[in-house]
């Protein structure tokens, strides 16, 4: 008898999965452990594993379909065996996408007539360039371009002197207010004809901006509308939930980054032969966990009628993907060295990019770090990922003058911003946490013990 493979629950918040593509086709031999398809959940795209050996005799869900948890995906049986009829899919639970809801048993409404597409407005032609003025020497008579001097910004005295000196005023560069040509401009050109603009320059209309060589003149991108992916839809829902239900406090603090950068450089240079390459973010993850040890009230979650205080610091970090972002978790970050955190974070980041994360890799975080420093962003605020009560936004290191020992010297600073859930703790607690984080990052040797 054939075995039915159903849509599994691949994340704690998953209600449906999108069947991205099949890796096997009907009639293919499969064995236990083979990957059958790619499934996109609300968190990541993952591979669907077969737990049976035989032949893929039937595919029930086409690529691109959204399938509820427990609904049939395919059947594996003996070669030539008749495929069983697909069992009825279970009713979706929770907030399943509307596309999965059954249609009401009412007479279908007449199809709406699509609104005609409005024709795109015709592009406005660029203003015609003024005719090029012939090259003229100061002693020559004024050219035709000088007949249009009425449109030039030129003082009456300058215009008179230009005529007396047989200078084409359209080739003068004005140094007066708003680019107005004044007497000094005419006299300077009379003494030094090299100051006159070329005929091509004189022909360009006011406000002309030269075309930069090599820039494309085509559209920004193809005009199109694409369906919202499962990941993008869940991100949208959770971010709206976060920003409309959580009362936020935003706190930021400036950190002297020079000690951290110096220690990181020393370690990377001294341990290069051992393959060690620590990032700034590795230190921030470690410092975040140690700061949670010092101010544990931040390591908490809002649960409606209760606040849960977590005994372990499971620190998540944001990884940007093509269709959104995901937050892999470094578990028990408070118990690991910065070297262990670096190794684990790199492995998790690669799995995220390759869409190979397992549910245990990205669930259960108690605190989150979002770092845009590598993209040059000096400061920003991040949105809390419920049920966490805080998230740390990390900006880039900025070189600027700082005051040290009463002297203004060159320095390097980094601004971090803590977004806090005011239901869980108050601003004073958030400030204590940032103070602890600052102390650890400005004394990075403490992170190595």
Which residues are marked as active site? 422
Distance CA 368, CA 326 (A): 11
Q: At what angle do helices 280-294 and 338-353 cross, to 10 degrees?
A: 120
* Alpha-carbon gap, residue 138 to 406, rounded angstroms: 61
The two tokens of residue 76 are: 């594996």
Going 344 to 347 to 350 to 352, the CA torsion angle's sign is: negative
Q: Characterize 175-198 residue by residue with b for buried, 16 or more Cβ atoms within 10 angstroms of its Cβ, and e for exposed.
A: eeeeeebbbebbeebbeeeeebbe
Alpha-carbon torsion, ordered 372, 375, 381, 382, to 10 deg? -50
């Amino acid at each position: 008898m054939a075995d039915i493979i159903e849509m599994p629950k691949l994340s704690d918040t998953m209600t449906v999965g999108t069947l991205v593509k099949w890796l096997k086709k009907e009639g293919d031999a499969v064995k236990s452990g083979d990957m059958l398809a790619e499934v996109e959940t609300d968190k990541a795209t993952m591979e669907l594993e077969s737990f049976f050996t035989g032949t893929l005799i039937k595919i029930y869900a086409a690529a691109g379909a959204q399938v509820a948890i427990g609904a049939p995906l395919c059947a594996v049986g003996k070669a030539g065996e008749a495929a069983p009829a697909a069992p009825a899919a279970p009713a979706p639970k929770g907030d399943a996408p509307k596309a999965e809801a059954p249609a009401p048993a009412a007479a279908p409404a007449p199809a709406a007539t699509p609104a005609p597409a409005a024709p795109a407005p015709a592009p406005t032609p660029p203003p015609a360039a003024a005719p090029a003025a012939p090259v003229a020497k100061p002693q020559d008579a004024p050219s035709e371009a000088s007949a249009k001097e009425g449109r030039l910004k030129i003082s009456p005295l300058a215009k008179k002197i230009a005529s007396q000196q047989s200078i084409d005023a359209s080739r003068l560069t004005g140094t007066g207010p708003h680019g107005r040509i004044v007497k000094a401009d005419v006299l300077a050109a009379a003494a030094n004809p090299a100051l006159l603009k070329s005929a091509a320059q004189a022909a360009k209309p006011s406000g002309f901006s030269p075309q930069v060589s090599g820039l494309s003149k085509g559209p920004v991108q193809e005009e199109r509308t694409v369906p919202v992916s499962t990941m993008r839809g869940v991100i949208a829902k959770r971010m709206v939930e976060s920003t409309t239900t959580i009362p936020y406090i935003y706190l930021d603090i400036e950190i002297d980054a020079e000690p951290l950068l110096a220690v990181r450089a020393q370690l990377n240079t001294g341990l290069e032969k051992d393959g060690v390459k620590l990032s700034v973010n590795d230190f921030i993850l470690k410092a975040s966990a140690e700061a949670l040890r010092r101010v544990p009230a931040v390591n908490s979650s809002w649960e409606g009628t209760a606040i849960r205080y977590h005994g372990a610091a499971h620190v998540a970090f944001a990884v940007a993907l093509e269709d959104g972002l995901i937050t892999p978790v470094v578990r028990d970050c408070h118990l690991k060295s910065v070297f262990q955190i670096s190794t684990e974070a790199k492995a998790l980041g690669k799995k995220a990019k390759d869409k190979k994360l397992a549910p245990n890799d990205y669930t259960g975080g108690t605190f989150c770090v979002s770092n845009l420093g590598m993209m040059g962003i000096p400061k920003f605020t991040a949105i809390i990922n419920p049920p966490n009560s805080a998230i740390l936004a990390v900006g880039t290191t900025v070189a600027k003058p700082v005051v040290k020992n009463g002297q203004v010297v060159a320095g390097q600073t980094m601004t971090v911003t803590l977004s806090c859930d005011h239901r869980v703790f108050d601003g004073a607690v958030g400030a204590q946490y940032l103070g602890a984080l600052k102390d650890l990052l400005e004394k990075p040797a403490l992170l190595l013990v």
